[in-house]
Amino acid sequence: MRFRLKTLFTLSFLPAAWRLPVFALSGVAVGLWLVLVRVSELPSYLSDSPRTCINCHVMAPEYVTWQRSSHFHFATCNDCHVPHENVIRKYAFKATDGLRHATIFAWRLEPQVIRATRKSRQVIETNCRRCHEQTISPTPSLHGGERRCGDCHSVPHGEVHSLASTPNVPVPRLPPVTSWPYGKAWDKPE
């Protein structure tokens, strides 16, 4: 094992002329990765903080409408938008959904109106039913299972969804990710 690690770190398996360029390119790649982690606020996505959602400016209307909703005191973004069956599924969903969001925002393909994907709608529906189980359990089969909760109930984001739906709304400036209190209570509206 020691021999293999030494061989790997010294690049002794490469011709001598290639070692310095490979070390240099590896250093550049690691440096770029660290810059990307910092600039993208990557560590914040491991938390359940709703402030993570406003790392992208297009999510400001969703953040603000959630802050003003009845769900604000009881549920975070991840309570509704992420699966809760197990930790692996939760972080796998966060990773795939986050990569989709990152791709959309990196290529400037943000839609004017934010809509949940089919997969996200299924997760949201499951979480609505999980949290409100006692309320809906007396209701017989909820319209034969053909309707979703969101067909009649538009909380917490309301019915208007676009980048212009909450103009001039004060959205909190985010402190650097290194000073965030991960796992603590989120900011209350003013």
138/165 same-domain check: yes
52/109 same-domain check: yes
Count CB neighbours of 52 within 10 A: 26
82/99 same-domain check: yes
pLDDT of 87 = 92
pLDDT tens for residues 44-63?
A: 788 888 888 877 767 878 88
CATH code for position 142: 1.10.3820.10
Domain span including residue 27: 1-39
105/11 same-domain check: no
Asked whether 154 and 106 are in contact (CB, 8 A), the reply is: no
pLDDT of 185 = 43
31/111 same-domain check: no
20/107 same-domain check: no
54/19 same-domain check: no
Q: State both tokens at 117.
A: 């994907």
Q: State both tokens at 7.
A: 């061989």
Residue-averaged pLDDT of the chain: 78
What percentage of the chain carries pLDDT values higher than 70?
76
Residue 187 lies in a domain: no
The domain tally of the chain equals 2
From residue 13, how far is each of 6, 28, 29, 180 by CA, in Å?
Answer: 10, 21, 20, 43
pLDDT of 98 = 83
Model pTM score? 0.68
CA atoms within 13 A on the CB side of 141: 4
Maximum average pLDDT range among 18-27, 38-47, 152-161:
18-27
> Of 165, 57, 148, 176, nearest to 110 (Cα)?
57
Q: CA 17, CA 75: separation in Å to the nearest integer?
A: 58
DSSP-derived letter for residue 107 is T
Asked whether 60 and 169 are in contact (CB, 8 A), the reply is: yes
31/51 same-domain check: no
Q: Is 139 helix (H, G, I), strand (E, B) or coil?
A: coil
29/48 same-domain check: no
DSSP-derived letter for residue 182 is T
Q: CA 172, CA 114: separation in Å to the nearest integer?
A: 20
Residues 76-92 have a mean pLDDT of: 92
Count CB neighbours of 126 within 10 A: 14
Residue 123 lies in a domain: yes
What percentage of the chain carries pLDDT values higher than 90?
20
71/158 same-domain check: yes
